[in-house]
Copies of this chain bind each other. A is one copy, B any other.
Amino acid sequence: MGKTIPEQPFASRAKDDRSTAHNSSYNERNDAIIKAATMLIARDGYEKASMRAVAAEAGVSPASMYHYFDGKEAMLFTILFRAFSGLESNLRMKTHLIEDPLEQMRIMIAEHVMFFANDMDGLKLCSHELDSMRGKAYEELHRIRRSYYHHTREIVNNLVKKYNLKVCDSHVATMSLFSSLNWLYRWYDPHTSSRSPAVLGKLFFEQFIGGLTGSELLQQDNGEET
């Protein structure tokens, strides 16, 4: 009993960590289930996407699903964990050796957009279905998410410091940036749009930096209103 929440430090594994075994058929099926679940949950939402539908899409029986995952929630956890930690570790890796915060910022935005373009459904779930998780699983995902936020926020702070920007509220600025990135799944499809992910990242970067540095259009009567 108590199968739904694994015991100790929580990780991205499925039911057991068979990733070291030389059994390839297991991992193939596992990935097929993850892929089917990601697509269907992105399309229909977590509650509406049924285990039966995921099983049919993945080509297995509903009962076999429980060979690979403890349950529906554990399945969603695996999807979100992979996406969130991939995003976070990629950011850490790509900005590690860069010193200029402006360049770090450019990389962060470009990498996030690229990451989205490569896994639209996965990142949609990160934005849309995180609240479907409860308890320790939610906390673990939220921890990674917060780490990603802190990393970005630190870049913003260094940016403000280095270039002496008179930014009023770096929290709001950072949240606005995340808004643009997380809202992508609502309107942007790299396979359809005329804008490439690289171009879009550049636009976001310029907008964000412009938003941080302010505009001369607003210099006229700053300070009061009737």
Binding site for B on A (CB under 8 A): 45, 47-48, 102, 128, 131-132, 163, 168-169, 172-173, 175-176, 178-180, 182-183, 186-188, 195, 200, 203-204, 206-218
Contacts and interface: CB of A to CB of B under 8 A. Distances in A.
A51 B102 CA distance: 51
A121 B200 CA distance: 31
Contacts of A209: 215, 217-218
Contacts of A187: 175
Contact of A178 (B183, B217, B218): B183
Among A169, A172, A182, A218, max chain B CB count under 10 A is at A172
Contact of A183 (B175, B215, B218): B175
Given A206-B215, A210-B210, 20 more contacts: A45-B131, A47-B48, A163-B217, A168-B203, A172-B200, A172-B204, A172-B207, A175-B188, A176-B180, A176-B204, A179-B179, A179-B180, A179-B182, A179-B183, A180-B180, A182-B183, A206-B214, A209-B215, A209-B218, A210-B211
Contacts of A179: 176, 179-180, 182-183
A212 B47 CA distance: 40
A172 B182 CA distance: 14
Contacts of A176: 179-180, 204, 207
Contacts of A48: 47
Sort A-B residue pairs by CB-CB distance and give the 3 closest, nearest first: A47-B47, A179-B183, A207-B211
Contact of A195 (B163, B169, B180, B188): B169
A128 B179 CA distance: 14
10 contacts: A45-B131, A168-B203, A172-B195, A172-B203, A176-B204, A180-B180, A206-B211, A206-B218, A208-B211, A210-B210
A145 to B, nearest CB: 11
Contact of A213 (B169, B200, B210, B212): B210
